Chain A
């Protein structure tokens, strides 16, 4: 096969090109020809096809994501905002934290182990590329029905992949979620979050400036894995009739990534790089075009210098390969020797593949001939922007009208029925203990883990001298979002915000992973538009900016989309981790207070799913000012030692939270149903803006006075006591029986 050089492309304008097979639309191909003033070469076509894919270009979502910038709250905590590899947040004392959540959904369905493993690898490199030491990861996961045979293929593979990669990399896995719903059967969601820590002055950006500076590729050799991962795999709907997409999944080597981390941190310490970019989706195409477009000059790359795992790869394949564990640095010429020396120390292969030029073009050569000649911006940033049509689905009204009223769904009528409903709820797959899964992850490594799963948020000490810490929680509820995507996205934010505050940390910033179906379906696009609008509005009210994140579309099989599933991560700061609030009710005699208001709100609730397999009505109402007040009370209670334990109320309602706190602490509780409240509603409603706390008797007055003055309803509902949970006048449940119901479920289904 002859090499398709720039010269050749000029001379053969009518040559057939495989643009459609690479995932490009006819108008996009025409636009590329227009930009170049000729047909693209094979290599250029490869670059444009991956960089203009939905996954890399955000072409369907861009117009909606703009709101996160337009409605950005005023905050001085944000050091780097949306657009870089990850946002950077000031947590005080000269320390900055960077965090981001991403999806690896499609690859994890095709090849669960490697898909989930490389999801961790990719997000960790994003954090590293900002100049930070990665310090923890989290994994929000969603699977199909727990008893479906394919879940037994997908779940163990994904969990083993996360553990296999993350454990070997030496990053504690401190939280996340595990949710089951048949809507994810053909489209499991594997989201991965990483958080990193650095000094303010260590922030690095993806830019290639300074003509003469060298472009150094370091890390793993480039192989044929992951070709088309972004364009073919992540940007299309699954279709059972097409050939397997397994070759589009990358293969990870966590050992190589660990070396890459330590090597890169040593390079940062010696201040040897002028710009840096990780290799993620779209590989070399993305790294070179983004670096060049972020800088002031052009870039010239000799593709022959790229170390290969497979010598038969074509230049197009080298440009598209998504081989893992690779980074690209811009290095001043007199620092190259030291750079290469450090790489050698860590047994990391490093190669100069090009240099920054004073022109404005990205030029790539192969065997001495030019195969790419483009303005890098046209590849990296000038991709198509689509205003996809969207419309409120025709079925939305009927879904919302189908409210779970007492007439529509039979509710437990007496103490015995309530007791049975509690056992059924806390033992259901979504509400059951997840330690069969989380015990396969190392949560101790690095020695700074203050709180980890199943606590409300994961908490990491970031400074050993001052005991400064950060807390992170991720939450999402596809059932709520299906009923009302606007409120559903806000409820996800509110829950993560509440979870962070429950551990005593002050929420500062947000990263989001927006998992939706096909943008080509106006129903899905409406869900997306509503969810982003809701999230942007709520972030503005709560003062927590979106710092970055990821959009995953085409999560659907055939015509059936997943529930719209915005997953929201909130990061908070705590000045002294010694003041953190755990969730365990561990002290006999402490008083249990319910904070917030409880109404009859069961739309989308865990109870309707478990007891009736029902989804209808409206999700709980949300009062963001109340959320903010509740958070302030929880933070004050922690700082001033007024509460010993706190647990947020969300899916499953009060009884779920109480069960978790009691089992964690090994203590029971005696409860009284507050006057005027129906026992069932008291126990199972999922009203937002609530938490339970355990208060030492000596602090009761101070605590209730604080709540009274600030206007937060605080109801004394009981006392920590004994080894049973008793709801007065209704039922008693021994902890042992609760524990058995709560802890055996997942292993019985999957183990």
Chain B
């Protein structure tokens, strides 16, 4: 039996089918979750995909955070359910207070789509065990509001506890503090990042790399060994 990984579709989710594909390619079973449905259908982990949920109106992720499915996810994530938030999903996680901080408009004031190099800083989370410490990977990045920020105390805490999971290399594409690309909660089950690992899972597609696949094999390994 393999792991069941839920992928939430909010109205305006765009990368939900891509996330399902990545889950499938890693060998797990993708399960579509609907924003209006509180039931998580016995999934073992959840991916909040990229996109513009609810049009990103009001503020990115601010409305999704109140959707019925998030009620259950917030509750279960506090109890240890592994959750990965990608891009808009990361924004939903900060709005839900499952992760600290917030995302501001990119420093350039433009949407940016590029192949981004990252360093994996924490390989102990549920979503990164298949990486090696300090591994440098390349995955697509695409956002208009991806500039991670938090108050200095929170940043110090994140850094001190090794909770900065990914850092931008070469270029900081949005002006985030300390080149932060993604973070984890203290327990390591909730991870959020702005770049898109689900777009780097096939050698032919996108930028032609598979550096993102280990996110999904990591969670599979964690769940199957659990």
A residues at B contact (CB < 8 Å): 160, 163-164, 167-170, 253-256, 258-259, 346-347, 439-450, 461, 464, 467, 577-578
Contacts and interface: CB of A to CB of B under 8 A. Distances in A.
Given A259-B12, A440-B111, 14 more contacts: A167-B144, A254-B55, A255-B11, A255-B12, A255-B56, A440-B110, A440-B113, A442-B142, A443-B113, A444-B140, A446-B17, A447-B15, A450-B205, A577-B204
A449 B206 contact: yes
B111 A446 contact: no
Given A255-B11, A347-B11, A442-B142, A449 B205 contact: yes
Contact of A255 (B18, B54, B113, B206): B54
Contact of A461 (B11, B54, B110, B205): B205
A20 B158 CA distance: 68
A440 B14 CA distance: 17
Given A444-B142, A447-B18, A447-B205, A259 B11 contact: yes
B17 A167 contact: no
Contacts of A163: 110-111
A446 B142 CA distance: 13
Given A259-B11, A346-B11, A440-B113, A447 B199 contact: yes
B130 interface: no
B124 interface: no
A446 B112 contact: no
A398 B176 CA distance: 59
Interface residues of B, number: 30
Nearest to B18: A447
A256 B56 CA distance: 12
Nearest to B198: A447
Interface in B134-178: 140, 142, 144
12 contacts: A167-B144, A168-B56, A255-B12, A259-B12, A444-B113, A444-B140, A445-B15, A447-B18, A447-B199, A450-B204, A467-B204, A578-B204
B111 A167 contact: yes
B144 to A, nearest CB: 8
Contacts of B14: 168-170, 258, 445-446
Of residues A168, A259, A450, which shows the largest number of chain B Cβ atoms within 10 Å of its Cβ?
A168
Given A259-B11, A447-B206, A577-B204, A253 B55 contact: yes
Nearest to B196: A444
Given A168-B52, A258-B12, A461-B205, A447 B111 contact: no
A133 B129 CA distance: 37
Contact of A439 (B114, B205, B207): B114
B6 interface: no
Contacts of B204: 450, 461, 467, 577-578
A446 B18 contact: yes
A91 to B, nearest CB: 18
Interface in B1-36: 11-12, 14-15, 17-18, 21
A450 B202 CA distance: 10
Contacts of A441: 111, 113
A444, A446, A577 pick with most chain B CB within 10 angstroms: A444
B108 to A, nearest CB: 9
A535 to B, nearest CB: 33
A468 to B, nearest CB: 13
A255 B205 contact: no
Interface in B83-118: 110-114
Contacts of A439: 112-114
A449 B142 CA distance: 14
A451 to B, nearest CB: 10
A256 B11 CA distance: 9
Contacts of A258: 11-12, 14, 52
A442 B11 contact: no
Contacts of B207: 444
A505 B116 CA distance: 29
A167 B142 contact: yes
A347 B67 CA distance: 14
Interface string B203-215: 0111100000000
B112 A447 contact: no
A494 B21 CA distance: 37
A447 B15 CA distance: 8
